[in-house]
Structure 1
Amino acid sequence: MRRAADGSHDDSAERVDTDRRSGPSTFAILNRMLDMHAYRFDTTVVQADAEDLQSHLAKAYRGKIRPLCNCRDPEPGIPMYIAQFDGRFLIKRMPGTAGQHKLGCDSHELPPELSGRGAVVGQAVQDGGDEGPTTLRLDFSMSKSSGRTAPEASGKESDTVRTDGTKLTLRGLLHYLWEEAGLNRWSPAMAGRRSWYVVRRALSEALHGKTAKKAPLAQQVFVAEPWSKERDAELTARRIAAMAELMKPGKTRAMMIVIGEVKDIVPSRFGMKLILKHLPSFPFMMDTDLHRRFEKRFANAIGLWDSVDDARLVVIGTFFLGPTGIASLATLSAMVVTGNWIPFEDAYDKMIVDALSADERRFIKSLRYNLADDQALASCVLTDTVEPIALYVATPGAAPSARAALEGLIADSEIDGWLWEAGEPMPILPSPKYPRPARLALPAPTKAAGADE
């Protein structure tokens, strides 16, 4: 895998290669036009990327007016609600309206059979809309008793992944926040634009308006700001302030959740330490038991991170601070993502995501949440086709029961399916609604008068 000289991930993939790309293709421009969302304020229609959108949202917020999503124009708009976060206004989907939005709209949601989200919404996730916060029920502790060294480490499969939808596992919470942030969606307009700054901002907005354990979730989750040497002292001060609650003495001490990209996992004097990018001087200590369980449970994700060139390893874990201010992990979960931060589960999954991205397609990546690893699930859902199409992979060597479950899922789904027998070459992907236009032969540029030969 590409690593910088210091062992860090090479961020060059986050930047647009201006030497190789002279400009967006006609197809990419068309896709960007399709990505444009609009909202209706009374008789005024405002594009989602309009410079004056915030002023319209502020006026509607003060007047308690619901903007309408215009995704099904000329049909009637779909009511939305407005939330305020960090001095900005956010437009949110009303509970129970996901199916009313058009395929490809940011507010559209996959049918339950195509995502693990369906198993947790209404139980582990209770959406309050604009009437109150969304309440999340977590299946892991957020406190540490003084008599214990740590809560039970969540390295075993039974501790981190289960089909029970009444509470979110660590991975379930990570997938929920990833989907709320829109990071499992892709369109050509996003190419070259997803840096850690963008990912963190999207996650911060996703945390807003959520509660867990009777407290705002945003106060319980730490996502590091993009680090730079010049801002190190400023960022350290903000981190200390964000974690101040963890230093309060008492019989029960609070814990926090950390989400970040792994830079390295290295031996320490009495165990291991996990180093996150953007937190170079603040490692998270792991005892040998947690590290052993983590390596066993997430061997596939770690192997993909190590072998796939542009892969990143994203972790979520609970941690506490010792008397000296050192962070120690109590539980840990992980997922591997592409250079564009799209999650994937295996090499075949990655090949589909790469093929769709290279072909400038628009799609949603299905996420498991609490579902077991061997439960049948779609890989992706195309959102640029006339009707949605779910993409499935039949993994070579899968047990007959797994193949039967996959075929049953495809047959029972309300969404048309495309199947790749992964032991064979990948079939042609379903065509988009607006096919890629033929490339035009442009005339050679003429030289300006007086130009050198």
Structure 2
Amino acid sequence: MTLVSFDGVTVALTEVQDNPAKYARALERARKTPGYAVCRCLPTSPTAPLRLVIRRYGSLFHLARWPDDGHRHNPKTCSFYRAASQPSRNSNDTLAAIRTIACGLDVKLNTSLSVRTVDRSTRQSSGAASGAMSRRAAPLLGFLQRVWEEAGLNEWAGAPSRGWGTCNAQLVSVLGDGKLNGKPMQDVFHVMRRYDVADGSCVLAEFQSFLDRITTTPAKSERGLLIAELRSVEPSKYGFVVKLRQTYETFFASKGVIESAADSFKPAWAMIGDASARVVALAVIERTKDDNLRIIDLALQLCNSAFLPCDSSFEVAMANRLVAERRRFVKPMRLEQGDAMLPDFRLTDTTVPTAIEVYGIQGNAQYVARKAEKQALYAREGAPCVEWIPPDDLASVQLPPAA
């Protein structure tokens, strides 16, 4: 358990993340003097404290990794840890769609946030002219996965559980005061907060403030992006109703949008409503002429019960087992060319990091060939690897003991 200190108090990081309103005033004071919080994951040096950035998000404050300081944190237990040799992806690529900047993320999506007419195509590009030096644009899923990785939500340090409150805190601390398609991140992007009875009115007010900025007039439509946990998708008279956790707000979607999501994100779609998994949605939202909220584009990410990203129901089962056994591990994110050979999971609590491969697809020639290539790679490098080949019982898989 990581402790943090600010404004004369020392408290568990998870307590701050799950109850941000409770510590808002103390964090605001610490943001002014001395200008940072302190992480207690290691014995603190009085001359070089492990500083944490205090970032404002709406009316609340969240803690983020101090620039270039990640390697100083406890690699085994602290979510702020980042190896010195592990820079942010595309950190030196000026044309990258997603860039890490001092105040958060600078993102260019291939989705328009402002369109002149609602009746035109709902999937327009961001409007930049093509050219040799034009900045690339990220798809919704690529953005969602990159934010998950930047927030460290693909890593597990052996905690017993993780809820949406922690996810929210780590996501908004990464997004910070960045930009999305040239607009202030906090104006066009909202991470749904965990509902807290003690702070319910503030949660609702902040969400409503975000929704109020989504407007449609005869001349222009202003859109917004929302990250939330997906509860259900139900057919309705004119299409579908999408229900999200942490809110009773109703969102509508056309048959085309839903069919595209079901086809593009099959593993996640199949586990909507499954108690062993979580499905996270990144939705582009606009208002109809009748003032209803409509989802015009959607990306889904399958996660296990503790919000670790997974690529299949079998990976969900494996990740749930690793969490239940309090193992330390990471889910490598396949975001770039060359990432295809990454393991499904990697145990980090063994003497030598141990790959875990879940070979859940049978009868697909391309998949079988990649499986053989991976097995040859592990054998050639002498790298330890644990395999699970369903339908073999997951309980029969022998994991190496933690060091």
**What TM-score range do you get, normalising by the shorter chain?**
0.7 to 0.9
Aligned to 1:303: 270
Answering whether residue 136 of structure 2 is matched by residue 169 of structure 1, we say no
Q: Secondary structure at the match of 2:123?
A: coil
Q: Which residue of 1 aligns with 2:309?
A: 343
Q: 1:344 is paired with a residue of what secondary structure?
A: coil
* Alignment partner, residue 352 of structure 1: 318
Cα distance in 1 for partners of 2:252, 2:92 equals: 34
- Residue aligning to 2:290: 324
Q: Counterparts of 1:368 and 1:111 in 2: how far apart (Å)? A: 21
Partner of 2:345: 380
2:172 aligns with 204
Structure 2 counterparts to residues 387-426 of structure 1, below 5 A:
387-397=352-362, 398=364, 399=366, 400-407=368-375, 410=378, 416-423=383-390
Distance 2:72 2:198 in 1: 47
Question: By how many angstroms is 1:376 displaced?
Answer: 3.3
**Aligned-partner residue type, residue 391 of structure 1:** I
Query: CA 1:320 to 1:202, structure 2 compared with 1: closer, same or farther past 3 Å?
Result: same
Residues 63 and 212 (structure 1), Cα distance of their counterparts in 2 relative to 1, 3 Å cut: same
Query: Which fold has the larger relative contact order, with Cα–Cα distance below 8 Å and residues 6 or more apart in sequence?
Result: 1
- The secondary structure found in structure 1 opposite 2:290 is coil
Equivalence map 1:113-192=2 (5 Å): 118=89, 122=93, 123-129=96-102, 132-146=103-117, 148-152=119-123, 166-191=136-161
Which residue in the other structure is 2:54 paired with? 83
Alpha-carbon deviation of 1:309? Answer: 3.9
Residue 188 (structure 1) shift: 4.3
Call closer, same or farther: CA 1:72–1:392 in 2, change over 3 Å.
farther
Deviations 1:138-164 (A, max 9, x none): 23222233063442299xxxxxxxxxx
What's the CA shift for 1:407?
Answer: 3.9
TM-score, length basis structure 2: 0.74
Listed as ranges, the matches of 1:252-331 within 5 Å are: 252-280=220-248, 282-305=249-272, 308-331=274-297
Amino acid at match of 1:284: F
How many residue pairs align between the two structures?
375
Q: Distance in 2 between matches of 1:405 and 1:39?
A: 48
Amino acid at match of 1:184: N
1:237–1:99 distance in 2 versus 1, CA, 3 Å? closer
Question: CA 1:408–1:259 in 2, change beyond 3 Å: closer, same or farther?
Answer: farther
1:91-146 deviation digits (Å, cap 9, x = unpaired): 42424x65665533323347999x9x7468843332223xx443223232222330
Q: Counterpart amino acid of 1:303?
A: A
How many Å apart are 1:316 and its aligned residue?
0.8
User: TM-score, normalised on structure 1?
Assistant: 0.67
**1:392 Cα deviation after fit:** 2.5
Q: Output the aligned Cα RMSD.
A: 4.5
Retained in 2: the 8 A contact 1:66–1:80?
yes
Which of 342-351 and 382-391 deviates more? 382-391
The one-letter code sitting in structure 2 at the alignment partner of 1:393 is V
Note if contact 1:61-1:82 (Cα within 8 Å) is conserved in structure 2.
no
Distance 2:266 2:218 in 1: 37
- Alpha carbons of 1:299 and 1:134: their partners in 2 closer, same or farther (altered >3 Å)? closer
State whether residues 120 and 168 of structure 1, in contact with CA within 8 Å, keep that contact through their aligned partners in structure 2: no
Cα deviation, residue 318, structure 1: 0.6
* Structure 1 unmatched runs, 5+: 1-34, 155-164, 434-453
- What SS does structure 2 have at the residue aligned with 1:203? helix
Structure 1 residue 246, shift from structure 2 partner: 1.9
Deviation at 1:267?
1.8
Contact 2:112 2:124 in 1 (8 A): no
Decide whether aligned partners of structure 1 residues 267 and 188 sit closer, same or farther in structure 2, where only a CA change above 3 A counts. same
Assess if the C-alpha contact under 8 Å between 1:126 and 1:136 holds in 2: yes
Residues 202-223 of structure 1: per-residue CA shift (max 9 Å, x gap) = 4333332322222222222233
Whole-Å separation in 2 of the counterparts to 1:419 and 1:351: 15
Matched, 1:92 2:65: yes
Distance in 1 between residues matched to 2:252 and 2:210, nearest whole Å: 19
Structure 2: gaps of 5 or more residues: 17-22, 126-134
- Which protein shows a greater Rg? 1
Q: Could you give the per-residue CA deviations for residues 276-310 of structure 1, whole angstroms, max 9, x where no partner exists?
A: 12332x2222112112212211222222335x442
1:217 counterpart (185, 189, 194):
185
Q: Secondary structure of the equivalent of 2:271?
A: helix
- Superposed displacement of residue 37, structure 1: 5.9
- Does the 8 A contact of 2:271 with 2:277 survive in 1? yes
Question: Relative to structure 1, is the Cα distance of residues 363 and 151 closer, same or farther in structure 2, using a 3 angstrom cutoff?
Answer: same
Rounded to whole Å, the distance in 1 between the matches of 2:51 and 2:380 is: 31
3-state SS, counterpart of residue 315 of structure 1: strand
